[in-house]
Structure 1
Amino acid sequence: MITVDTARKHYGDFLALDDVSLEIPRGSLTALLGPSGSGKSTLLRSIAGLEDLDSGTVTIDGRDVTDEPPQRRGIGFVFQHYAAFKHMTVRDNVAFGLSIRKRPKKEIDTKVDGLLEIVGLEGYRARYPAQLSGGQRQRMALARALAVDPQVLLLDEPFGALDAKVRTDLRTWLRRLHDEVHVTTVLVTHDQEEALDVADRIAVLNAGRIEQVGDPETLYDRPANDFVMGFLGSIASMGGQLVRPHDIELVRDREEALARDAEVADSPGVIEATVERVVRLGFEVRVDLRADSGEHFAAQLTRRDADHLHLHRGETVFARAGQRSSVVDRVVLASAAPAGAGRLADEAVRQAAIA
C-alpha cells in the first residue's frame, strides 16, 4: 500500500499540493485525474522521490520513504515521451536496470525474454527505439520499468504523445498487463475516458486538493460535488441543473414528456426546445438544442432512438432528464495554473536513476 499523508508542496507562490492525503491499495491500478495544474503530476513525482515535499509523508508498504532517494523506493517509472536510450537496442533498454545492478547474465536474459514476450515485442530484441512505432516504444518502456520487479509502477501520462487509436489499444493492453503482473500501479492522466477505462480507483484532483476517491462507477454515477461531475464526463445544463447528455430523453409529445417526468424525483422538469443540429458520431447521435429561455444544451441519443424520432433542424421537442442519479445543481470550473508545473525534466537520466 502507498500512503500519502498531508502532503504539501509549493513552487514559489503556487501551491501545487494542499495537505493531500491518499491511500493506494496494494495491487490496485489507481488513476490520478485532474486538469492541468491540479497537482496530479506533482503528487506522482513526490511518491517517486523526484520532488521533496514541504511537509507530509509518503510510506510504501509501511516503510517511510519520505526522505529516501528514488532508487531506494522500489519504484518503476514510465514517462510520456518514453525516455529511451536511443543508442541501445530494445533488449538492452529493457535490461538496463538489471545490468547496472550487476545481475547474472543468465538471469537478465531470462527476465528480458519473458518481459518482451509479455509486452508483445519478442521479435524486436535487436531493433533500436527509432525503428519502433510510438506504441511499441511505450511498451518497451513499460517492460524496462517492470524488469527490476518494482513494488510500485508509476505512469505519468504514458499515452499522451500517441494518436487516439493507439491510445485506445494501449489502454486495453495495459489493463491486461496489470491483471497479469498485479504490481501496484498509479497512472496520471487528464483523460477522463482513459481513467474510467483502465483504473480500479480514481482520485480526482483540483487546485492541489483531492475532490473524491472511489471506483469509476461510483464517481461517474454519484459524484461528490459539481466539479467531479463536470470533469468526469460530458454535462448539459437544463433548467439550472446539470445532467449527463445521455440521460436526456427527447419526446415529441408534451403530455407524454410530463407524464414520464413525474416519475423522476427532483427533476429539472420538461424543457421545450428547438433542434438546432443533429450530428451523427458513429454509434451515437448528438442533438444540439435551444430552450425557449435561450439556454443551449445537447442530448446524446443512441442511433436507434434518433432514427425513431427522425429529428430535423427547426423542429420542436420536449426534453427531460431520464434519471436523477447524475443531476447536480451547478458546476465550478477548474482554475488555471502556471504552465509546466509538475512536469518532468531530463527524463532518460531520471528514469535511469530510478531503475
Structure 2
Amino acid sequence: MITVTGARKNYGSFAALDDVSIHIPSGSLTALLGPSGSGKSTLLRSIAGLESLDSGTVVIGGNDVTDISPQKRDIGFVFQHYAAFKHMTVRDNVAFGLKIRKRPKPEIDKKVNELLEIVGLDGFQHRYPAQLSGGQRQRMALARALAVDPKVLLLDEPFGALDAKVRTDLRTWLRRLHDEVHVTTVLVTHDQEEALDVADRIAVLNKGRIEQIGEPEDLYDRPHNDFVMSFLGSVAKLNGQLVRPHDIRLGRDPDLALAQEAGTAESLGVTRATVERVVHLGFEVRVDLRNEATGEPFSAQVTRGDSAALGLQEGETVYARATRAPELPEAEVPVSL
C-alpha cells in the first residue's frame, strides 16, 4: 500500500533521512519507533506530503505521489496536539472534511453518527472540545481523520501529551479500532511499550536510517544489533552480554542460580552481585544490582513470589545468571585489500 524508496532529506548538514526504503502492507498498523532525531517524524511527514524529499519516491496505493500535494494523497493525519476547531461542536469537527467535499447532508449525518459510535463519543455530539477530556479530544480527532475514508491514516505521537493511564487505555482502544476499520495506519512513537502493544510491524529508526523492520516478537527476540535490542525493551549487561532483565535468574548461592542445569557456576557464567535497591512495580520486582567483579550496575526483574522467597535486602550478596540471551549477528569486519 505504501512504498518509500531511497528517501533522503537533509536540513543543512543534518541528514534526517539517509536512503530510507520501506514497504508498508495494505491494512497493517506499522509503528515507526526511534529516539528523538532518528527521522521517524520526517518519514511520516514525507509520506503525508508535508515534507518534500531531496531524493527518493513515495508510492501510495500504486500511485507515485512524490510530487503531489497533501490534499490529493487521500490520507488522514492526527497530530500529538488535537488541532480541534474550538468554536465547533464535536459533530461539526468530525463533519468538517465531509462538508468541504460538499457531501449530501444525509450522508454526512449518517457517517458522523457511525464514527462517533465507533470511537465511543456517541452522546457527545453537541459538546465543544473544551468540554472533553484529553483522551476524548484525541478520539474526536481520529474520527475526523477517518470521516473522509482515507486510504492511509498517519498518527504522529497522538498520545504523547496524555498521562500514562490514558495513553494505555487509548492504545488498547486504537488497536480495537484498527481491527474494525482496517485502514492502513502508520504510527510514530518513541514509546517502545506502545509500539509492542499496538503494532503489527515495527520499523526501528536511528540516525536517519532503518535499523530493522519486522513483527514485534521477531524484533524483540531476534534483534539485528545492540541498538535494536536496547531500544525495544529493557536490557542489562551481564558478563559482557546484553540480556533482558526478566531473563536473569537470581539465587542465594551459585547452585541456586543454575536452575538445576548441567555445568558449574563458573562454566555457566554465574555472577556475584550486590543488591543496591529493590523496587516493587506492581506484579513484578526490579532488583538493581552491581557486579562485584567489574563494578558495573545491572538490573533483574523477578516475580513478587521469587523476591519474597529470596528475602532480598539492600547490601546483600546474590548470584545472577542469564537464562537466555538473543544471538546478535556479529559485526562485519572490513576486509583489507
TM bin, normalised by shorter chain, reads over 0.9
Q: 1:26: how far off?
A: 0.2
Q: Secondary structure at the match of 1:122?
A: coil
Q: Secondary structure at the match of 2:325?
A: coil
Deviations 1:139-176 (A, max 9, x none): 00000000000000000000000000000000000000
Query: How far apart in 2 are the matches of 1:172 and 1:239?
Result: 37
Cα 1:48–1:81 shift into 2, 3 Å: same
Between 1:253-262 and 1:77-86, the stretch displaced more is 253-262
Q: 1:184: how far off?
A: 0.2
Give the partner amino acid of 1:186.
V
Partner of 1:318: 319
8 A Cα contact 1:261 1:322, kept in partner:
no
8 A Cα contact 2:242 2:325, kept in partner:
no
Partner of 1:303: 304
Is 1:157 the equivalent of 2:157? yes
Q: 1:259: how far off?
A: 6.9
Q: 1:314: how far off?
A: 2.0
Partner of 2:334: none
Deviations 1:272-291 (A, max 9, x none): 11111111111110111111
Deviations 1:24-76 (A, max 9, x none): 00000000000000000000000000000000000011110001101111100
Partner of 1:118: 118
Unaligned runs of 5+ in 2: 332-337
Between 1:303-312 and 1:251-260, the stretch displaced more is 251-260
Q: Secondary structure at the match of 1:3?
A: strand
RMSD: 1.7
Query: How far apart in 1 are the matches of 2:105 and 2:263?
Result: 69
Partner of 2:184: 184
Deviations 1:283-305 (A, max 9, x none): 11011111112111111111111
8 A Cα contact 1:239 1:268, kept in partner:
no
Q: Which has the higher contact order (CA 8 A, sep 6+)?
A: 1
Q: 1:324: how far off?
A: 2.6
Query: How far apart in 2 are the matches of 1:129 and 1:18?
Result: 39
8 A Cα contact 1:226 1:328, kept in partner:
no
Partner of 1:226: 226
Partner of 2:166: 166
Partner of 1:142: 142
8 A Cα contact 1:270 1:318, kept in partner:
yes
How many pairs does the alignment contain?
328
Q: 1:263: how far off?
A: 6.9
Give the partner amino acid of 2:300.
A
Is 1:86 the equivalent of 2:86? yes
Q: 1:308: how far off?
A: 1.5
Partner of 2:275: 275
Query: How far apart in 2 are the matches of 1:153 and 1:129?
Result: 22
Query: How far apart in 2 are the matches of 1:256 and 1:115?
Result: 57
8 A Cα contact 2:31 2:187, kept in partner:
yes
Is 1:27 the equivalent of 2:27? yes
8 A Cα contact 1:31 1:186, kept in partner:
yes
Between 1:276-285 and 1:46-55, the stretch displaced more is 276-285
Partner of 1:339: none
Query: How far apart in 1 are the matches of 2:262 and 2:154?
Result: 48
**Stretches (4+) displaced over 6 A:** 326-330
Partner of 1:97: 97
Cα 1:165–1:189 shift into 2, 3 Å: same
Cα 1:82–1:111 shift into 2, 3 Å: same
Q: Secondary structure at the match of 2:218?
A: helix
Cα 1:163–1:214 shift into 2, 3 Å: same
Deviations 1:91-137 (A, max 9, x none): 00000000000000000000000000100111111111011000000
Query: How far apart in 1 are the matches of 2:284 and 2:325?
Result: 22
Partner of 2:335: none
Give the partner amino acid of 1:317.
V
Q: 1:325: how far off?
A: 2.8
Partner of 1:204: 204
Identical-residue share of aligned pairs (%) = 78
8 A Cα contact 1:275 1:312, kept in partner:
yes
Give the partner amino acid of 1:313.
E
Q: Secondary structure at the match of 2:123?
A: helix
Give TM-score scaled by structure 1 length. 0.89
Query: How far apart in 2 are the matches of 1:297 and 1:324?
Result: 15
Cα 1:327–1:295 shift into 2, 3 Å: farther
8 A Cα contact 1:243 1:327, kept in partner:
no
Partner of 2:41: 41
Give the partner amino acid of 1:301.
V
